[in-house]
Amino acid sequence: MSMPLLRRLALTTAVAAALMVGAATGTARAAGPLTYDLKPTRIAPDTYVFEGSTKHFTRANGGNILNAGFIVTADGVIVIQTGPSRRYGEEMRAAIRKVTEKPIRKVFISNLHPDYWLGSQAFADVPIAALPGTIAGIQEEGSGIADNMYRLVGDWMRGTEVTVPTEPVYGSTVKFGDHRLRLIPLSGHTAADLMILDETTGVLFTGGVVFCDRTPTTPHATIADWLKELDAVEGLDIRLMVPNHGHIRSDKACVAQTRDWLTWLDGTLRHAVDSGLDMAEALELPTPERFEVLDVLREEYRRSVAHLWPKIEQAALPRVN
Amino acid sequence: MGHALYQAGLAGAMIVVAGTAFAASSPSDPLNSVMWEALRDQYFAGAPVVFDDAVRVNAPAAAEDTRAVPVSVDATALGKVVEMVAIADLNPFPLVLRYHPGTAAPYIATRIKIQQATAVRGAARTADGVWHVSGVMVDAAGGGCSAPPASYAQKDWADHVGEVQARLWPADSDGVARLRLRIRHPNDTGLVDGIPAYFVETLQVEAQSPGGSAELAKIDSLEPVSEIPSIRWTCVRRRTPRRWCCAAGTTRAARSGRPFRCRRRAPNPR
């Protein structure tokens, strides 16, 4: 009687131990430290990009939907965009450290959207430069933007706080080591869009002005101005284009792609308002097949209806009292 | 011990009985909203209720701007409808509007505030007294009902309250005419600190057409209708009204809210 009982106890313990090991491993895999696993790609001399997904912010990608970059100059490292969270900024800085021992000299932020600047906490000890309109926008909307990112991607955001850029910049050409950077202030995608052209390598960081194979986003957009921004890009002499969202290309095909989308979007919504459709109906309008190459097409189309419709309607309806 | 078991058995039996009785009188909510039973009792008090996909509610799956979420309720498949309501279950004030279609079609579209992710419903009461209910889930970041209106960013906003923009689209080949109204109004919910409730409460549209009745339709509008309400009616008739006019009443409790009117000859020259 006593022997079987002992054997049974021993067996139970062994099973329990095995289960615990299994549980511990499983837990480690599921809830272990989140990581963006950032790996820089060298795209030109001294120039690197962390290529992100072309999707929307999700709990799977942690908001890594951008192409942040850095340029290693004799004067130190120039960082372009800091990503969607403190964690991203910290991982980015650690990854840069693996490429060069040089200190971070300056950070540039292209606009107020969340994935451009929420990682700035990791660079709080260096000047963070942005256009005055971007700084004002982050001061005004930054905490709401951060709150929404916590809701969208969750734990990836842990510890992320609003870090407002510290240095206003304007249209100018600045020199860091051998690299001459042309700072190009524009407005259209947002009220303040900073493009950075490295005249030394011919690499253009477009920020949100050009999207490549990824549907453009419009929460702060004025379409007519955005089209003029694209004209400005057409006039630049470049070797490589780095959009903040989408693919890096050596030609300007994605300028035309962005223009095509914006023109179609604006024209379609204006026509819908003019035909007496309501906003809920506009959400269901079909998107032409040629735009299927743009990632997250229907999601961004619907978001754009919400962004653009009220103003178009306001302009289109006549006063009656 | 035996007594306790007997009690447990009795309780179980009662639950089963109650469950059966409930299921027979009112169907369970396909959207599984915790508020459904309370809202049903409040807004459809005792009237028969059916969930009916013939009522089509169109709203985005995720709200991009919680202060202005587009919603349309289309009950034209039911034929003659006496009254329609729109409800956002988890809003601090769930009832969005009551629509009395009159001689207009049972279709209404507007934009609403939502406070958090919620079921958004449309219901239509047919002449037999039955409420036909349908709805969709809308995910949201929250805060739409308690955010201050953007109108106040403009210093002269008060000078423009009551301005109406509108357009009538004459009847198409199916005899369907559309009317869209946009009213400058902050539509304050009263939930923002220091800003009392101030919103459009009634909106009445009259049509002047040969042989037609004067009142086209009426809306009892409530807090959740968005700032600067934008509303679309659909009229199904062979002839487009020659003239139409609208009148809107606004909350008087706060500020100098007073009714305003608009008038227009149709069709619109544009």
Task: Give the burial string for A224-234 (b: 16+ CB within 10 Å, else e).
Answer: eebeebbeebe
* Of B41, B101, B39, nearest in space to B75 by CA: B101
Contacts A114 to B, Cβ<8 Å: none
CB-nearest partner of A280 from B109, B228, B268: B109
Q: In chain A, whose CA is at the least distance from the CA of B72? A: A280
Q: Please compute the mean of the pLDDT values over residues B105-127 and round it to a whole number.
A: 94
Counting Cα atoms < 13 Å in the Cβ hemisphere of B99 gives 29
Task: Give the burial string for B24-55 (b: 16+ CB within 10 Å, else e).
Answer: eebeebebebebbeebbeebbeeeebebbeeb
> Is the pLDDT confidence value at B257 over 90?
no
Mean pLDDT of chain B: 80
Q: Do B169 and A276 touch (CB under 8 A)?
A: yes
Bridge partners of B110, per DSSP, are B71
Q: Is the peptide bond before B267 cis (omega within 30 degrees of 0)?
A: yes
| Interface with chain B: mutation pick from A217, A218, A279, A311, highest number of B CBs within 10 Å | A279
A111 is written with which tokens?
A: 């606009």
Taking the C-alpha atoms of residue B218 and residue B122, their distance in angstroms, rounded to an integer, is: 17
CB-nearest partner of A148 from B68, B72, B141: B141
pLDDT value of residue B23 = 42
Rg of chain A over Cα atoms, rounded to whole angstroms, equals 24
| Residues comprising chain B, all counted | 270
Q: What is the pLDDT of residues B119-176, one digit of tens each?
A: 999 999 999 999 999 999 999 887 788 877 777 777 788 888 888 888 888 877 777 7
Q: Please compute the mean of the pLDDT values over residues B21-34 and round it to a whole number.
A: 74
CA A32 to chain centre: 25
The answer to whether A37 and A62 have CB atoms below 8 angstroms apart is no
Q: Do A319 and B165 touch (CB under 8 A)?
A: yes
The answer to whether A41 and A48 have CB atoms below 8 angstroms apart is yes
Residue B258 contacts A, CB cutoff 8 Å: no
Residue B165 contacts A, CB cutoff 8 Å: yes
The pLDDT averaged over each successive group of 10 residues in chain A (321 residues) is 42 44 42 88 98 94 97 98 98 98 98 98 98 97 92 94 98 97 98 98 98 97 98 97 97 98 98 92 95 97 95 91 80
SS3 content of chain B, % helix, strand, coil (to 5): 15, 40, 45
Degrees, nearest 5: CA angle A281-A285-A287: 160
Give the count of beta carbons closer than 10 Å to the beta carbon of residue B78: 18
Burial (CB < 10 A; 0-12, 13-18, 19+), residue B263, is: middle
Taking the C-alpha atoms of residue B218 and residue B209, their distance in angstroms, rounded to an integer, is: 17
- Cα dist from A280 to A114, B56, B222, whole Å: 27, 11, 20
pLDDT value of residue B152 = 76
Question: Mean pLDDT: which of A251-255, B3-7, B109-113, B246-250 is highest?
Answer: A251-255
Burial (CB < 10 A; 0-12, 13-18, 19+), residue A31, is: exposed
CB-nearest partner of B68 from A151, A310, A316: A310
Phi, psi at residue A166, to the nearest 5°?
Answer: -100, -15
Contacts A219 to B, Cβ<8 Å: 64
| Interface with chain B: mutation pick from A150, A278, A283, A285, highest number of B CBs within 10 Å | A278
Cβ neighbours of residue B116 closer than 8 Å, sequence gap 6 or more: B90, B140, B142
A13 is written with which tokens?
A: 């313990």
Residue A220 contacts B, CB cutoff 8 Å: no
pLDDT value of residue B240 = 59
Burial (CB < 10 A; 0-12, 13-18, 19+), residue A85, is: buried
Bridge partners of A168, per DSSP, are A130
* Of B173, B115, B110, B185, nearest in space to B147 by CA: B115
* Contacts A–B by Cβ distance under 8 A: 82
Residue A315 contacts B, CB cutoff 8 Å: no
pTM (predicted TM-score): 0.83
Q: In chain B, whose CA is at the least distance from the CA of A150? A: B141
pLDDT value of residue B20 = 40
* Of B193, B203, B180, nearest in space to B251 by CA: B203
| Interface with chain B: mutation pick from A298, A300, A321, highest number of B CBs within 10 Å | A321
CA A194 to chain centre: 14
> Is the pLDDT confidence value at B185 over 50?
yes
Task: List, as own/partner pairs, every contact residues B169-173 make where C-beta atoms lie below 8 angstroms and the sequence separation is at least 24, other chains included.
Answer: B169/A275, B169/A276, B169/B267, B169/B268, B170/B240, B170/B266, B170/B267, B171/B235, B171/B237, B171/B238, B171/B239, B171/B240
Determine the 3-state secondary structure of B241 from DSSP. Answer: coil
The answer to whether B82 and B127 have CB atoms below 8 angstroms apart is yes
pLDDT value of residue B19 = 40
pLDDT value of residue B248 = 73
Taking the C-alpha atoms of residue B210 and residue A139, their distance in angstroms, rounded to an integer, is: 58
Task: Give the burial string for A166-188 (b: 16+ CB within 10 Å, else e).
Answer: eeebeeeeeebbebebebbbbbb
pLDDT value of residue B18 = 41
